[in-house]
């Protein structure tokens, strides 16, 4: 008699909601008439994400391990799931924006049509919209949420694939500059699959070393025999796979290319949500499964954090494309986040977990907002992402420039913005654990990084506008909502972060 | 030091002495053009009023048993252990100076009414003069070194403003700046002396410092004495800071008379005399004062022999005469009174000489070149007469003031009784001869001989508003010496300050000294007549002259030394530092930025865009990660 | 015959796959190399399952296969779309995004 | 009356004022000016009332108020002033209205020396008011975290003021300013966190409250690190040599109003920080590092003074003089005597007034001549005697002539430092000669001599005879060149500062009375004076 695994449906509600919405989306795609499909898809996806968000909020405080030990429902997981769901919903709103592009969507009408072909040119001006992206994105969001809740390596791997595969696809679906977009998709796919292979091999080695892929089993095994070479190698490969997703140097190389090539709403989605999911998985893996072997990986995380911060900050200096610049910024921020991971302390009692979670939320909101502003500035049919095109924006459109400046200052970590609170939290955690040299490097790196954020402000405010400068699109309702929420949150998390910090503090618990 | 009491009566109002001219300056400066019409009268009135008050105060002081009074005004700076009160000390020494300043000051203010009558900026001139009088009075009346310092720099400012009065002339502007800077060098000495006092004694008031100076270690007192001497040298144009004083003649002539002859430049003498209790404790510093005095005396006299500019000759004469005063006060108790007597007498005759020179310039279209003067004695009779009396007084013609006061100094020097006494006495006598030479040369070139005037010059006597002060000063020049040395001995008046004058055992009988000095003076006059008076004076200075003359013309190369030792290296240093700062310090920062940018582009090259390269990077990273983890585990 | 040989074989296969990713240009071949890596993992999993005497590893191998299949679908779609545009499946040709 | 939350109001009023000014419709520049001036005057009134309410014999920190801000970090929004902070608030209160008055003119010359055609004046005033709020916050914060927040946030308005309204190289200057300060600030952030961690381990609960942190017993090794973290930030801000090279660029490129507030108030945060944070919190480390700091201070005095002499650009020159003066302030602080430290605080105020005035008159001169090069001027005194007079007063105050306010402070610094640090003091005293040199050289070159240079040019369109390259982008003046001397508005702007220079030069005791108790408390935190 095979015992049915215990399934706490309530605890799984967020996942069920989003995956259900994704499945409904597939059905809608198949059966709903094309001309009214778009609003329906948007609604379904939003219902899924918002519903998932509400579910996680309702679940707040619960701690259990369910689904036969495969899933953990705990404070940290729920906080991150909520973050992903919320940021995902905002990203979906960006997907749904229809008033900026003259062709009423940022996505290609038919991805199968070769770029540049007569049919493609014909479709370019049609107002037919692509609606497959919504279920795809919903699946990705679901995968991400699963990723942070996975309590065994296999589920983690499956979640990794569930979140990655749709992303590969939708990064190739840009309406404009399709060649770049397709190239991004190919690169992302090949490298992503390559990284998955590493993760998987790590999984296999850990399985071999411990006889299980369950985190709790790994934990007890590593406690008993922390120096097992197989186990250590497995850990190394697992970490490689996760660092890739989190775009931590030296596994960051795909990030600039993909961020630049992908449609901007997708880039925003990846920058905000993937980062959260990847770090959720890293935190869980390192602290739940390998928490007792902390001393083995601490130097490693220490090292990659430094490399990532330096690579991100230094390489960002000479970028001329805003999306690419924000990609390097994301690499640097991955490094800052890792200082928070260091700050977890032995066994995770430190304030690092709460700090990292807060940082993820703050960074996600800010970067999402920055990319949202990017979609507004257009030249010809596409977005004006080259820096020089932003010269003198402030005199053309003070409000947009001010909002962008706010996001940039937040990314630079200037006080009274969310970025500062987040940085303060993670650096505090790191210093509390005695990692002040790391914090010092991080601070210097953020000073270097500040230069390229400032450069954009200099261009927007202190340069005279170019004669044939870009136009500033009037955002439709979805983008307006996104900008309003992200900007407000960026300021609010900077000035009155108390309640959110409290929530993060209370939620900073892993089960397992 | 005698006891001092809180002042009452008129002495309690002695702050008005400072306030009156200060108010005058304020009204004139802030009032603007509205005060143009009567500004000069107000300016003169305040100083005359101060003089009247000073006379009254002095009479009251004479009636006091202690002959000393302090006026506490307000707390200036009080923090921690430092407590500086703004207060005045009216004692015989300051009274002497107050009378000199306000007295000669009044005369020169009156003179200036005429002298500056046609200058559009006359109001400003009087404002600055008033400012000077106020600062100078603060200098001599202050009851602490801080108050002295405030006045000290205040007169420096007034001097700066007045030298640069005709600021559109670059030479005047440069001279003013030079004066201020060299004074500042001296001020540093004074400031450091004050710091030492505070550090060692915890106070800066005269009473506190002089009362406790005996408790200090010898080295500290010597340091104090030397620092104060540095300050005194700066203000009084003494070696090695003498070079600014002749240049200061770029200012209007009344300024030269008041500030750069009669009063401000004697502040150094005042300082050393005031600090007698300090110098009493330190023979070393006192010897330094002597040395400075002797050296300066000769430098000034030698340079005075060679210049053709009437004001510069007088300026070097001032340098030289102040050298006498330093020499005197450096002699210690024996010389204080002699030095101060000479100071007062000098105040009269040198002010008179300058006013006379001003009158000559006034007559000669502001020319100062003596080679273009000559034969003026009958064109400017009053000027000639007053100038002549001043001249006689200066060279020490028997029974005029210089005779009494200079002889007293020489006697005091000889009275030391040692070798140095003879050396110093000899120097002083030699200086007297040189003085006679250059002043006679000046007289001859200016008033006698053939008229060598430039075209269009029509000499005429000055108006009476100018001549009247000259006459008063001439009278003073004649009588001051006798009055101060014999009739109303200064030594008695100053007794509360310097103590009972001791009757020195004379090494050489005073009569002998008088005869020798007179003889040397006569030699000087004779030499001048032989070299200058007998022959025709060329209108351009001869070029081929002996090295001695050339050196004298360059004031013994003081400017050249300053230039090559300080100015040039300073300029090079500045230029070098600007380079270092731009290229070195800032360059390092910019270089760091450039390095970051450069490494950014170089690292960016690694981002080739090829999937294979990226995969290689990831693989390499994975190997590193695995290696690192294994290393940590193994280690 | 010890299980170590299987593990070594799997490791060699994994390495061959990884090296293939680095040296091959055709996107399809690169992708196949990745598949090779995944399958070497399957071998490892099965070997370990044998070693520990459980079936977990074998079940996981099935999971991997399913996931790999999904990956093929997505991957080939992407590669096809770029091939149709560029008429080339060389990964080196897709080189617009760099630095 | 004394129950009013003065400090909160002093932050809130200008902040709200900034929002109001920013929200005014475009083109209402006149209204923006009036509102800004009104708001800044209100702040001045508040500052004066606060000073009146302050009891010098009372607690060290007064007018305190505290609200929990971020409980998780142990952060409070805690305000309070001691005498040191209070005098700085008074300085802010005085300088901001003056600066607004100086920027009153419609034309570009009123703000700076660069064309501001595209820039709206109201933004300038809004930034100024926001800056004022931040500056008040920095000095009034009694919570280290709050201090840090204001310390960094203050950069933003100044960054925009320099970058938007500055001279030809304003972009470079603005970024340089921001990055220098940011680097320092971030290093300080590490130290701030370190301090928190120490407090967490010693008090059982992390806190940023200054009074609590003062009681910590920090291990000497840790103290040194934390001291350095704070010190570097403040040394960049102050700035001490060799962290100074941003100031000449920022000072010369900033619009005059910005420059006045930059060197007058903003940079004082550095020296204020030495005194408020470095000394009391890390007494052992302060003692350990004092000799090194003194070397920097004295080297700065002499080095910057020499550099000032070598400048041909007036604004750069004034910036270098400020660096030299900051050396004096640092000397006074690290001499560890009450007299010297009191003098240093007074110096902070006096320097703000004196150098502020100097910047203002230099700006007025530049507004007339459209050139910052000394070589383009000459004989201005003959054409504009009032301007020259004010210039002279400012210059004399800058070289610390007795009778001006700066004398008192410089004298106090030196006389107070001498007992503990004679060698450094002697070297520093030599600096007063150099001060006379650089001021008088500039004065002579611009004001004395025969009139020449740009002021004689009748046609503004004509190219300038010298320094044309650097001045090519300067705006054409709208006023007639014939009207050279100061007008009524300009006189009204400079008059308060001139008056303060004289009054504080003669009777500084009220300020000293405010300052001394706080300084004594600092010295006792340090473990008594080192004498």
Query: Does C91 fall in a domain?
Result: no
Query: Does C37 fall in a domain?
Result: yes
CA distance D426 to chain B (A): 7
Output the six-digit token pair for B614. 């990226």
- Please provide the average confidence, as pLDDT, over all residues in chain D: 87
**Which chains have at least 3 CB atom pairs separated by less than 8 Å from chain B?**
A, C, D
CA distance B578 to chain A (A): 27
pLDDT 10s digits, B12-42: 888 899 999 999 999 998 888 888 888 899 9
Query: Does C55 fall in a domain?
Result: yes
* CA separation for the pair A282, A361 (Å, rounded): 16
The residue among B199, B146, B197, B188 whose CA lies nearest residue D417 is B199
pLDDT at D114: 46
CA distance B259 to chain D (A): 19
Angle at D201 between CA D197 and CA D204, to 5 degrees: 115
| Site from C16, C18, C36 to mutate, B interface, most B CB atoms within 10 angstroms | C18
Beta bridge partners of B473: none
- The average pLDDT across B400-405 equals 86
Whether chain C lies against chain D with 3 or more Cβ pairs closer than 8 A is: no
pLDDT at A347: 60
Of residues A115, A178, A186, nearest to C94 (C-beta): A186
Interchain contact, B577 vs D436, CB within 8 Å: no
For residue B573, give Cα distances in angstroms to B588, D64, D70, D305.
20, 51, 53, 11
Q: Is residue C96 exposed (0-12), middle (13-18) or buried (19+ Cβ within 10 Å)?
A: middle
- Is A454 at the interface with chain B, CB within 8 A? no
Output the six-digit token pair for B420. 């140095």
pLDDT at D279: 92
Q: How confident is the model at residue D483 (pLDDT cuts 50, 70, 90)?
A: low
Provide the domain count of chain C.
1
Whether chain B lies against chain C with 3 or more Cβ pairs closer than 8 A is: yes
User: Does the pLDDT value for residue D111 go beyond 50?
Assistant: no
For residue B36, give Cα distances in angstroms to B28, B119, B123, B472, C37.
8, 11, 6, 28, 101
pLDDT 10s digits, B262-284: 888 999 999 999 999 999 889 99
pLDDT at D465: 41
Percent of chain B with pLDDT over 70: 98
pLDDT 10s digits, B575-620: 888 888 888 888 888 898 899 989 988 888 888 888 889 999 999 9
* CA separation for the pair D183, D189 (Å, rounded): 10
Of residues D70, D175, D189, nearest to A497 (C-beta): D70
User: Does the pLDDT value for residue B3 go beyond 70?
Assistant: no
SS3 state at B317: helix
* CA separation for the pair C23, A287 (Å, rounded): 37
Interchain contact, D152 vs A451, CB within 8 Å: no
User: Does the pLDDT value for residue D198 go beyond 80?
Assistant: yes
User: Does the pLDDT value for residue B333 go beyond 80?
Assistant: yes
Read off the DSSP letter of residue D1: -
CA distance A275 to chain B (A): 18
Every domain of chain A and the residues it spans: 9-507
Q: How confident is the model at residue D474 (pLDDT cuts 50, 70, 90)?
A: very low
Q: Which residues of A touch D187 (CB under 8 A)?
A: 440, 443-444
pLDDT at A23: 96
Q: Which residue of C has its CA nearest to A327?
A: C99
Q: Which long-range contacts (CB under 8 A, 24 or more apart) does B38-45 make?
A: B39/B122, B39/B123, B39/B126, B39/B127, B40/B112, B40/B113, B40/B116, B40/B122, B40/B123, B40/B125, B40/B126, B41/B113, B42/B126, B43/B109, B43/B126, B43/B127, B43/B129, B43/B130, B44/B106, B44/B109, B44/B110, B44/B112, B44/B113, B44/B126
Percent of chain D with pLDDT over 70: 90
Q: Which residues of B touch D310 (CB under 8 A)?
A: 574-575, 577-578
- Is A336 at the interface with chain B, CB within 8 A? no
Interchain contact, A208 vs C47, CB within 8 Å: yes
Read off the DSSP letter of residue B564: I
Q: Are A98 and A127 in contact (CB under 8 A)?
A: no
Tokens 């600090």 sit on residue: B275
Q: Are C27 and A186 in contact (CB under 8 A)?
A: yes
Interchain contact, A191 vs B611, CB within 8 Å: yes
Q: Are A268 and B635 in contact (CB under 8 A)?
A: no
**Lowest-confidence segment of B84-98, B368-382, C44-58 by average pLDDT:** B368-382
Read off the DSSP letter of residue B35: G
Instruction: Give the strand pairing for D75-81 and D62-70.
Output: antiparallel
Every domain of chain D and the residues it spans: 6-525
* CA separation for the pair B238, B261 (Å, rounded): 13
Q: How confident is the model at residue D487 (pLDDT cuts 50, 70, 90)?
A: confident
Cβ of A2: how many Cβ atoms within 10 Å?
4
pLDDT 10s digits, D279-294: 999 999 999 999 999 9
Question: How many CA atoms lie less than 13 Å away from D280 in the CB half-sphere?
Answer: 21
Read off the DSSP letter of residue B24: H
SS3 state at D58: coil
Interchain contact, C63 vs A261, CB within 8 Å: no
Q: Which residue of B has its CA nearest to D502?
A: B26
Query: Does C96 fall in a domain?
Result: no
Q: Are B611 and A190 in contact (CB under 8 A)?
A: yes
Kindly provide the ipTM of the predicted complex, given to two decimals.
0.90
* CA separation for the pair B219, B222 (Å, rounded): 5
pLDDT at B6: 62
Whether chain D lies against chain B with 3 or more Cβ pairs closer than 8 A is: yes
Interchain contact, C91 vs B610, CB within 8 Å: yes
The residue among A158, A182, A150, A180 whose CA lies nearest residue A169 is A182
pLDDT at B408: 86
Of residues C22, C94, C97, nearest to B619 (C-beta): C22
Of residues B604, B609, B615, nearest to C21 (C-beta): B615
pLDDT 10s digits, D7-51: 999 999 999 999 999 888 877 778 888 999 999 999 999 999 999
Q: How confident is the model at residue D457 (pLDDT cuts 50, 70, 90)?
A: low
pLDDT at D466: 39
Q: How confident is the model at residue D461 (pLDDT cuts 50, 70, 90)?
A: very low
CATH number at residue C79: 1.10.287.3510
Query: Does C97 fall in a domain?
Result: no
* CA separation for the pair A246, A264 (Å, rounded): 18
* CA separation for the pair B625, B621 (Å, rounded): 6
Q: Are B386 and B356 in contact (CB under 8 A)?
A: yes
pLDDT at D214: 86
Q: Which residues of A touch D164 (CB under 8 A)?
A: 461-462
CA distance A133 to chain B (A): 25
Interchain contact, A172 vs C78, CB within 8 Å: yes
pLDDT at A46: 95
Q: How confident is the model at residue C89 (pLDDT cuts 50, 70, 90)?
A: confident
| Four-point Cα dihedral B246, B252, B257, B261, nearest 10 | -20
Q: How confident is the model at residue B5 (pLDDT cuts 50, 70, 90)?
A: low
CA distance A120 to chain C (A): 10
Cβ of D217: how many Cβ atoms within 10 Å?
8
- Is C81 at the interface with chain A, CB within 8 A? yes
- Please provide the average confidence, as pLDDT, over all residues in chain B: 88
* CA separation for the pair D72, A507 (Å, rounded): 13
Q: Give me the average pLDDT of each 10-residue run along chain A (512 residues).
A: 75 92 94 90 95 92 84 92 96 91 82 83 80 94 95 94 94 88 93 95 92 89 76 92 93 94 94 95 91 84 94 92 94 95 74 92 96 90 86 88 95 93 92 89 92 91 82 90 96 92 88 74
Output the six-digit token pair for D56. 């010098």
| DSSP letters for A336-371 | HHHHHHHTT-GGG-STHHHHHHHHHHHHHHHHHHHH
Interface of A with B in 251-270 (CB under 8 A): 251, 253-254, 256-257
Q: Which residue of B has its CA nearest to A222?
A: B633
Q: Are B73 and B86 in contact (CB under 8 A)?
A: yes
Question: How many CA atoms lie less than 13 Å away from A128 in the CB half-sphere?
Answer: 12
- Is B605 at the interface with chain C, CB within 8 A? yes
Q: How confident is the model at residue D460 (pLDDT cuts 50, 70, 90)?
A: very low
| Site from A353, A461, A499 to mutate, D interface, most D CB atoms within 10 angstroms | A461
Range of the domain at C49: 4-86
pTM of the model: 0.91
């Amino acid at each position: 008699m095979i015992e049915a695994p215990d399934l706490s449906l309530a605890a799984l509600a967020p996942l069920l909601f989003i995956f259900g919405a994704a499945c409904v989306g597939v059905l809608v795609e198949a059966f709903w008439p094309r001309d009214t499909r778009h609003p329906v898809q948007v609604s379904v996806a939003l219902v899924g994400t918002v519903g998932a968000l509400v579910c996680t909020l309702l679940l707040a405080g619960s701690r259990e391990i369910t689904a036969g030990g495969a899933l953990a429902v705990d404070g940290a997981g729920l906080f991150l799931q909520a973050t992903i769901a919320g940021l995902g919903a905002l990203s979906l709103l960006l997907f749904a924006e229809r008033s900026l592009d003259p062709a009423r969507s940022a996505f290609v009408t038919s991805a199968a049509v070769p770029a540049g072909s007569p049919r493609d040119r014909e479709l370019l001006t049609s107002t037919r919209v692509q609606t497959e992206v919504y279920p795809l994105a919903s699946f990705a969001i679901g995968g991400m949420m699963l990723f942070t809740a996975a309590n065994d390596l296999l589920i983690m791997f499956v979640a990794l694939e569930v979140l990655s595969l749709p992303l590969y696809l939708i990064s190739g679906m840009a309406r404009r500059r399709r060649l770049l977009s397709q190239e991004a998709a190919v690169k992302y796919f090949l490298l992503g699959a390559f990284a998955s292979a590493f993760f998987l091999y790590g999984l296999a080695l850990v399985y071999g070393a411990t006889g299980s892929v369950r985190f709790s089993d790994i934990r007890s095994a590593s406690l008993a025999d922390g120096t097992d070479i197989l186990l250590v190698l497995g850990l190394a490969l697992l970490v490689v796979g996760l660092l890739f997703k989190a775009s931590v140097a030296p596994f960051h190389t795909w990030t600039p290319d993909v961020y630049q090539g992908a449609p901007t709403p997708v880039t925003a989605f990846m920058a905000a949500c993937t980062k959260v999911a990847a770090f959720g998985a890293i935190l869980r893996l390192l602290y739940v499964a390998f928490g007792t072997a902390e001393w083995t990986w601490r130097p490693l995380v220490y090292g990659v954090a430094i490399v990532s911060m330096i690579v991100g900050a230094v390489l960002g200096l000479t970028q001329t494309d805003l999306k690419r610049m924000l990609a390097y910024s994301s690499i640097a921020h991955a490094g800052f986040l890792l200082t928070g991971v260091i700050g977890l302390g032995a066994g995770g009692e430190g304030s690092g977990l709460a700090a990292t979670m807060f940082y993820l939320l703050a960074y996600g909101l800010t970067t999402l907002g920055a990319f949202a502003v990017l979609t507004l500035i257009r030249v010809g049919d596409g977005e004006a992402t080259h820096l020089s095109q932003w010269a003198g924006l402030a005199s053309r459109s003070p409000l947009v420039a001010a909002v962008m400046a706010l996001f940039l200052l937040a990314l630079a970590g200037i006080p009274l913005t969310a970025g500062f609170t987040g940085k303060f939290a993670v650096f505090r955690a790191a210093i509390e654990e005695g990692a002040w040299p790391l914090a010092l490097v991080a601070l210097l790196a953020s000073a270097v990084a500040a230069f390229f954020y400032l450069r954009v402000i200099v261009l927007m405010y202190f340069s005279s506008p170019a004669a044939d400068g870009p136009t500033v699109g009037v955002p439709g309702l979805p983008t307006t909502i996104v900008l309003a929420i992200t900007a407000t949150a960026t300021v609010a998390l900077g000035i009155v972060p108390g309640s959110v910090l409290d929530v993060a503090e209370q939620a900073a618990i892993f089960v397992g | 030091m005698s006891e001092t009491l809180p002042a009452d009566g008129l002495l309690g109002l002695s702050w008005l002495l400072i306030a009156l001219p200060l108010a005058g300056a304020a009204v004139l400066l802030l009032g603007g053009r509205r005060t143009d019409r009567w500004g000069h009268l107000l300016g003169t009135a305040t100083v005359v009023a101060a003089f009247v008050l000073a006379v009254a105060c002095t009479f009251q002081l004479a009636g006091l048993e202690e002959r000393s009074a302090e006026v506490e005004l307000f707390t200036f700076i009080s923090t921690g252990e430092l407590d500086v009160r703004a207060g005045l000390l009216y004692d015989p020494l300051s009274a002497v100076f107050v009378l000199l300043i306000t007295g000669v000051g009044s005369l020169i203010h009156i003179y200036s009414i005429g002298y500056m009558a046609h200058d559009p900026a006359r109001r400003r001139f009087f404002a600055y003069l008033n400012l000077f009088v106020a600062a100078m009075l603060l200098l001599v009346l202050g009851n602490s070194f801080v108050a002295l310092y405030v006045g000290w720099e205040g007169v420096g400012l007034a001097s700066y403003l007045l030298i640069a009065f005709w600021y559109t002339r670059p030479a005047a502007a440069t001279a003013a700046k030079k004066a201020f800077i060299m004074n500042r060098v001296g001020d540093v000495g004074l400031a450091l002396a004050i710091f030492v006092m505070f550090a060692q004694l915890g106070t800066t008031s005269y009473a506190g410092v002089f009362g406790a100076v005996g408790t200090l270690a010898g080295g500290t007192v010597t340091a104090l004495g030397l620092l104060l001497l540095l300050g005194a040298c700066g203000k009084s144009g003494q070696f090695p800071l003498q070079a600014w004083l002749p240049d200061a003649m770029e200012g209007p002539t009344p300024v030269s008379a008041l500030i750069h002859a009669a009063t401000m430049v004697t502040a150094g003498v005042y300082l050393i005399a005031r600090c007698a209790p300090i110098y009493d404790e330190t023979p070393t510093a006192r010897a330094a004062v002597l040395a400075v005095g002797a050296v300066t005396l000769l430098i000034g006299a030698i340079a005075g022999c060679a210049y053709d500019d009437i004001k510069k000759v007088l300026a070097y004469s001032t340098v030289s005469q102040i050298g006498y005063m330093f020499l005197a006060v450096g002699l210690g108790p024996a010389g204080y009174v002699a030095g101060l007597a000479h100071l007062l007498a000098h105040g009269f005759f040198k002010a008179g000489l300058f006013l006379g020179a001003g009158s000559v310039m006034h007559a000669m279209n502001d020319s100062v070149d003596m080679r273009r003067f000559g034969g003026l004695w009958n064109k400017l009779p009053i000027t000639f007469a007053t100038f002549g009396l001043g001249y006689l007084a200066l060279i020490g013609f028997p029974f005029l003031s210089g005779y009494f006061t200079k002889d007293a100094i020489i006697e005091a020097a000889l009275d030391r009784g040692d070798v140095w006494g003879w050396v110093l006495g000899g120097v002083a006598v030699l200086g007297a001869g040189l003085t006679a030479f250059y002043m006679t040369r000046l007289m001859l070139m200016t008033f006698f001989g053939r008229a060598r005037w430039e075209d269009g010059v029509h000499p005429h006597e000055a108006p009476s508003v100018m001549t009247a002060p000259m006459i008063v000063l001439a009278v003073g020049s004649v009588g001051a010496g006798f009055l101060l040395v014999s009739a109303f001995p200064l030594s008695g008046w100053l007794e509360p300050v310097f103590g009972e004058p001791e009757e020195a055992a004379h090494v050489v009988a005073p009569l002998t000294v008088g005869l020798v000095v007179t003889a040397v003076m006569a030699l000087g006059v004779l030499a001048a007549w032989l070299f200058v008076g007998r022959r025709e004076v060329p209108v351009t200075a001869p070029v081929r002259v002996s090295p001695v003359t050339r050196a004298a013309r360059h004031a013994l190369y003081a400017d050249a030394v300053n230039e090559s030792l300080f100015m040039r290296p300073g300029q090079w240093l500045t230029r070098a530092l600007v380079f270092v700062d731009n290229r070195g310090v800032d360059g390092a920062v910019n270089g760091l930025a450039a390095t970051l940018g450069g490494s950014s582009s170089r690292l960016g090259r690694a981002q080739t865009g090829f999937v294979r390269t990226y995969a290689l990077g990831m693989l390499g990273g994975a190997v590193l990660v695995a290696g690192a983890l294994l290393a940590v585990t193994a280690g | 015959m010890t299980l170590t040989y299987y593990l070594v074989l799997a490791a060699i296969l994994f390495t061959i796959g990884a090296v293939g990713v680095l040296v091959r240009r055709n996107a399809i071949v690169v992708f196949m190399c990745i598949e090779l890596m995944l399958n070497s993992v399957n071998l490892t999993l099965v070997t370990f399952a044998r070693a520990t005497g459980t079936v977990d590893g074998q079940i996981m191998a099935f999971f991997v296969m399913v996931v790999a299949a999904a990956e093929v679908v997505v991957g080939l779609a992407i590669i096809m779309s770029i091939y149709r545009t560029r008429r080339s499946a060389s990964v080196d040709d897709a080189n617009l995004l760099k630095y | 009356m004394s129950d009013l939350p003065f400090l909160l109001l002093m932050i809130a009023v200008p902040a709200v004022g900034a929002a109001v000014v920013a929200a005014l419709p475009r083109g209402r520049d006149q209204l923006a000016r009036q509102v800004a001036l009104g708001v800044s005057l209100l702040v001045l009134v508040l500052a004066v009332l606060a000073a009146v309410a302050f009891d010098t014999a009372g607690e060290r920190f007064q007018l305190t108020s505290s609200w929990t801000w971020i409980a998780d970090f142990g952060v409070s929004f805690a305000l309070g002033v001691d005498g040191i902070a209070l005098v700085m608030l008074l300085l802010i209160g005085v300088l901001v209205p003056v600066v607004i008055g100086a920027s009153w003119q419609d034309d570009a010359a009123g703000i700076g020396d660069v064309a501001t055609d595209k820039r709206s004046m109201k933004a300038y005033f809004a930034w100024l008011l926001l800056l004022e709020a931040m500056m008040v916050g920095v000095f009034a914060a009694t919570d280290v975290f709050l201090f840090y927040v204001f310390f960094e946030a203050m950069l933003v308005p100044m960054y925009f003021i320099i970058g938007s309204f500055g001279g030809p190289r304003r972009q470079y200057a603005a970024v340089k300013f921001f990055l220098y300060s940011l680097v320092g600030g971030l290093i300080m952030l590490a130290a701030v966190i370190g301090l928190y961690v120490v407090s967490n381990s010693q008090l059982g609960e992390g806190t940023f409250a200054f009074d609590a942190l003062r009681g910590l017993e920090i291990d000497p090794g840790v103290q040194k690190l934390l001291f350095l973290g704070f010190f570097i930030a403040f040394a960049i801000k102050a700035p001490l040599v060799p962290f100074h090279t941003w100031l000449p660029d920022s000072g010369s490129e900033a619009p005059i109003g910005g420059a006045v507030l930059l060197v007058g108030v903003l940079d004082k945060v550095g020296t204020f920080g030495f005194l408020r944070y470095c000394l009391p919190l890390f007494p052992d480390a302060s003692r350990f590092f004092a000799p090194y700091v003194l070397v920097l201070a004295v080297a700065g005095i002499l080095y910057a003074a020499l550099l000032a002499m070598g400048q041909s650009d007036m604004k750069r020159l004034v910036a270098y003089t400020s660096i030299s003066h900051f050396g004096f302030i640092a000397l006074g602080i690290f001499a560890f005597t009450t007299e010297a430290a009191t003098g240093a605080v007074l110096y902070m105020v006096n320097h703000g007034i004196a150098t502020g005035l100097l910047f203002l008159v230099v700006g007025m001169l530049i507004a007339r001549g459209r050139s910052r090069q000394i070589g383009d001027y000459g004989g201005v005194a003959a054409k504009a005697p009032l301007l020259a007079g004010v210039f002279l007063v400012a210059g004399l105050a800058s070289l610390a002539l007795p009778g001006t306010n700066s004398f008192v402070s410089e004298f106090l610094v030196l006389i107070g430092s001498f007992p503990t640090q004679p060698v450094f003091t002697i070297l520093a005293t030599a600096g007063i000669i150099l001060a006379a040199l650089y001021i008088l050289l500039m004065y002579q070159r611009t004001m004395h001599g025969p009139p020449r240079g740009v002021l004689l040019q009748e046609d503004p369109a004509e190219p300038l005879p010298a320094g044309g390259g650097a001045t090519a982008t300067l705006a054409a003046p709208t006023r007639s060149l014939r009207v050279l001397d100061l007008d009524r508005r300009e006189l009204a702007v400079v008059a308060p500062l001139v008056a303060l220079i004289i009054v504080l030069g003669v009777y500084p005791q009220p300020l000293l009375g405010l300052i001394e108790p706080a300084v004594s408390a600092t010295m006792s935190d340090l473990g008594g004076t080192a004498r």
